[in-house]
Amino acid sequence: MVVPIIIYGSPILRKQSYSVSKSDNFQQLGQDLFDTVKKSGGIGLAAPQAGILKRAFVIDTSPFSEDDQTVQSYERFFINPEIVCKSTTNCSFEEGCLSIPGIYEKVLRPEKIAVRYFDVNFELVEEEMDGIKARIFQHEFDHLEGILFIDKINPLKRKLLARKLYQIVNS
C-alpha cells in the first residue's frame, strides 16, 4: 500500500527510530515502503519518512539502472541496520530526498562501508557495499538517526537553502 511521505518540517524526521522486533508487522512495512518508493520514483525510503519510527528502510536502484547500464539493479529491505565499518576514502555525490522535494546538494560520504542487518526473513546478513548502494544505505540509515542530508552540507550552502526549506515547511 502506498503511504504518504512525511515532508521536511515534521518533527518525526528528527527523532531516532526504535528497533524492529519479530513480533512487529515488518513484512507489511517493507511492502508499504517498496510500494511508496516505486510510486514516487525514488531510490530509497526509510520508515520514519512514512511516519513510522522503526529502524527499517528500502533501497531500489532500478531508476538508476534503467538510465545507467553500469548500475546493477538492487532491491532490498533492511531491518535494524548497522554500519560496522567505513572506508577512510570519501566521495561527493549529489543527493536529494523524497522528504525534501526539489533540493539537491553534493554530500561527502565514505566510499565503502561494511553493514549488518536483518533481511525480510529476519535473518542476519553482513555485506560490503560501495558506489551507489553504499551512498543510498548511508542516506537512509541517517534517517533512522534523525539526520537529514542537508545536515551534512556546507553551512553556507544550508543558509542559502533557508528560503526553499521555509517554503517546503509552509506549503
| Superfamily name and number for 11-87+111-148 | Peptide deformylase (3.90.45.10)
Residue 15 DSSP label: S
pLDDT single digits (tens) 69-99: 666 789 999 999 999 999 999 999 999 999 9
Catalytic residues: 140
Q: Report residue 63's pLDDT band, with 50, 70 and 90 as the boundaries.
A: confident
Domain layout of the chain by residue ranges: 11-87+111-148
Q: pLDDT by residue (tens digit) across 13-35?
A: 999 999 999 999 999 999 999 99
CA distances from 78 to 50, 54, 70, 106, 124 (A): 15, 11, 23, 25, 10
Evaluate whether 37 touches 60 at the Cβ level (below 8 Å): yes
Share of the chain above pLDDT 70, in %: 96
